[in-house]
Structure 1
Amino acid sequence: MPILQACAHRIDKQSDEQPATLTRGDAMTDTTTAESLLATFNSNFHGKPKAWGHFGGGGGEDDTDSTKNSDAAPAASSRFAFELERYRSGEINFSDFTRQTTESLMPLIDAHLSIGGHWWFVHSRQGEAEYLTLTLLHQREGYGFDSDLNVVPVQQLNLGQLMLAARIDLTQWQRGQSRQYITYVQDRGNKKLVEDFRLWLGCQEGINAGAETRTLLKAFSDYVESEDLPEEASREKTETLIDYANAQAKRGEPITLDELSKLVDEQQPKAFYDYIRNQDYGLAAEIPPDKRTLQQFKRFAGRASGVSISFDSHLLGNSIEYDDERDRLIIKQVPGQLKDQIKDRKG
């Protein structure tokens, strides 16, 4: 992931009572080590709970829709978005853009944090897409060896502690055809901080990753049931879905329905995609995967006395119920293939 521009500014804050101070930096001239840091940051960032959105254009729905099929970026909805537009248009350079936006961040730091850190901006390219990464990197005490092989204290960047971090797909933003080109860390332990950071970005939430992932898994289960697939085939397709979704989450990329459909059924690559569209689940073509929801998606399975049963966990309490007192499993929607076999036997 080549770095096109990078710049860091130091924010010092001694306590809650004292205001933060800013030491401005210049654009980095040597980004070789920074590229390695960015790769490590991305790995940690993708593993955090996140939210997705877009620049709100003042918060109105029509603001984003009006930019479709246009190369112009949406209207600025915050100081940050305004300065980003100026940078992308060439009106200001990268250093000025990062300095001015960091200055506007200082009230947020004073309101929510008792410690400072380094506010790092990176403009990078991955394939044909360009990204802007911005994050507050805190430091922690560590240990190392000096030239005489003595143990000495050293300052280390704490990449595991990402309270303020965002990644913007600049290419999707400029095209104006997406509502989820901004990704930011959603620290559930400090919702007010996250909300103020979202407002500072000028970001309007575009999609609920957890809800969308749950809907996708429900659509997949419905699709598997509608196909009356054998248990082994059903299990293989489920594993394919989960493996693909987890891989996309690890890379920080969305689940693409068209690509997923091809993986689920290589013989009929459009079958699952067409099923979703015909059933009108309301899913977007690209879905940000929610790792927590994916981890909860599994199949219950058991075999005893000639009976083999397996079903997706989310069906429990809906089409399948378990009566604990009588030790009974109640299936409300019998699979068509099984129903036909029973009827043939009775007939």
Structure 2
Amino acid sequence: MSTADHVLRNFVVHHLIKAPQGPASMQLRDAEIPVSPAALQLVDQLVDRYSERSGKGFGRFEDDEDSFPMPRLLRQHVVDGAIDFLMLSRLMMQQLLASIEAEPLAAGGYVLIARVEHADNDYLFVALASEALGTAIGDGLSIVDSPYLDLANLRVAGRIDLSAWQRGVERCISFLKGRGDVANYFKRFLGCNDVVIALKETQKLVQGLAEFAERQAMPTETRDALFERAHGYLDERGDAGEPVSLDTLVEQAWPDAPGLLREALNDDESRIARDFVPDRRAIRPLTHFKAAADHWKIEFDRNSLRSGQVIYDRDNGTLILTEIPEGLRRALLGDRE
């Protein structure tokens, strides 16, 4: 999401107070923050940092709205108009407080809640940012401490696609995965169910690689090399029963410019989940072609095109098979007799 063309509708900051192993409390702001250059700059940074991060999970709202009331609160604000944005944020803080109290090692911070419009879509961003201490130049060129919100090291954040949610799209929530269980309480607060279907997610990842190769207009050999390296990594993870690391995948599959591939696979439209074990059935298209018509089926690997065993005539739209096995030759000759 580019910050150049988004519109900030509502913004507020509250304070969630909690030290690791300590009790939790909150300090609530009594009004929305007016849309000003400073507010816009802060929300721009939040949107940028969130969009850039690769370690995201995706999910849908839990069905039990009594235990996970986030969709009910959103419905009251977005659909019914029964509560305003400030009241929504205060009710959300109550849920966040209850959730973080169940996570002894979690720490508090400043809670940024922003409603942002982008490309006819409506988003709600929620982030927990800590304060860091920097250095600034004061009066008389003195050196002074300068506290700031450390969005560069954002660890706990989520985004709800309100437009997708209202259209009935299932996976309308995304959140930073964090390290270990750091994001569990935040996921509970969002009311997010992130059950991952490995086959579907693997298919989406393979499709994302294919679309990237097409957009880059890669020569055939370059594209095949990308697919083979990706297949090797995904096959290895699937065989070991270990989850995909997107960062490792892009480094191995496209080492010359991993950032480009990472950006493509992080695209909002793809919504590829994280931490799923790849389904090895779904990665075969990276190394194999498979097609069927009314009276025939065919499958061959990409190496066959390079070796000349399979020849595709682009101009005539024909496929030529060479080095036909003897058994098939006899069968074909037998059909002609």
TM-score normalised by structure 2 residue count: 0.63
Q: Which residue of 1 aligns with 2:203?
A: 215
1:104-141, Cα deviation, whole Å (9 max, x unpaired)? 21133332445321111001100211100001111111
Alignment of 1:98-109 (within 5 A): 98-109=89-100
Report the 3-state secondary structure (helix = DSSP H, G, I; strand = E; otherwise coil) of the residue aligned with 2:155: coil
Tell me how far apart the structure 2 counterparts of residues 122 and 133 of structure 1 sit (CA, whole Å): 5
Report the 3-state secondary structure (helix = DSSP H, G, I; strand = E; otherwise coil) of the residue aligned with 1:38: helix
Q: Which residue of 1 aligns with 2:7?
A: 2
2:24 to 4, 20, 24: 20
1:202 to 167, 191, 209: 191
Q: Which residue of 2 aligns with 1:55?
A: 61
Tell me how far apart the structure 1 counterparts of residues 67 and 96 of structure 2 sit (CA, whole Å): 15
* Structure 1 unpaired stretches of 5+: 59-74, 224-230, 256-286, 294-311, 319-330
| Cα 1:108/1:190, change in 2 over 3 Å | farther
Report the 3-state secondary structure (helix = DSSP H, G, I; strand = E; otherwise coil) of the residue aligned with 2:152: coil
Q: Does 1:186 align with 2:191?
A: no
Tell me how far apart the structure 2 counterparts of residues 101 and 21 of structure 1 sit (CA, whole Å): 14
Structure 1 position 182, deviation (Å): 0.5
Q: Which residue of 1 aligns with 2:220?
A: 233
Q: Does 1:339 align with 2:309?
A: yes
Contact 1:249 / 1:289 at 8 angstroms: preserved in 2? no
1:172 to 145, 154, 164: 164
Tell me how far apart the structure 1 counterparts of residues 210 and 144 of structure 2 sit (CA, whole Å): 59
Tell me how far apart the structure 2 counterparts of residues 114 and 146 of structure 1 sit (CA, whole Å): 35
1:230-276, Cα deviation, whole Å (9 max, x unpaired)? x93242588799887644445x4123xxxxxxxxxxxxxxxxxxxxx
1:288 to 248, 253, 272: 272
Q: Does 1:155 align with 2:185?
A: no
The letter of the residue matching 1:134 is V
Structure 1 position 339, deviation (Å): 1.9
Structure 1 position 83, deviation (Å): 1.4
Structure 1 position 334, deviation (Å): 5.6
| Cα 1:254/1:288, change in 2 over 3 Å | farther
Contact 2:22 / 2:104 at 8 angstroms: preserved in 1? no
Tell me how far apart the structure 1 counterparts of residues 323 and 24 of structure 2 sit (CA, whole Å): 75
Structure 1 position 201, deviation (Å): 1.4
Q: Which residue of 2 aligns with 1:84?
A: 74
Contact 1:180 / 1:207 at 8 angstroms: preserved in 2? no
TM-score normalised by structure 1 residue count: 0.61
* Structure 2 unpaired stretches of 5+: 1-5, 212-217, 228-252, 278-283, 289-299, 312-321, 330-337
Contact 1:141 / 1:155 at 8 angstroms: preserved in 2? yes
Tell me how far apart the structure 2 counterparts of residues 7 and 220 of structure 1 sit (CA, whole Å): 36
Give the number of equivalent residue pairs.
Answer: 254
Contact 2:12 / 2:114 at 8 angstroms: preserved in 1? yes
| Cα 1:232/1:129, change in 2 over 3 Å | closer
1:143 to 125, 135, 144: 135
Percent identity, aligned pairs only, is: 17
Alignment of 1:36-75 (within 5 A): 36-46=41-51, 47-58=53-64
Q: Does 1:30 align with 2:35?
A: yes
Report the 3-state secondary structure (helix = DSSP H, G, I; strand = E; otherwise coil) of the residue aligned with 1:106: helix
Tell me how far apart the structure 1 counterparts of residues 42 and 275 of structure 2 sit (CA, whole Å): 24
The letter of the residue matching 1:83 is L
Report the 3-state secondary structure (helix = DSSP H, G, I; strand = E; otherwise coil) of the residue aligned with 2:140: coil
Report the 3-state secondary structure (helix = DSSP H, G, I; strand = E; otherwise coil) of the residue aligned with 2:308: helix
The letter of the residue matching 2:129 is L
Out of 96-105 and 42-51, give the one that drifted further: 42-51
Question: How large is the Cα RMSD of the aligned pairs?
Answer: 4.0
Tell me how far apart the structure 1 counterparts of residues 107 and 219 of structure 2 sit (CA, whole Å): 54
Tell me how far apart the structure 1 counterparts of residues 49 and 276 of structure 2 sit (CA, whole Å): 15
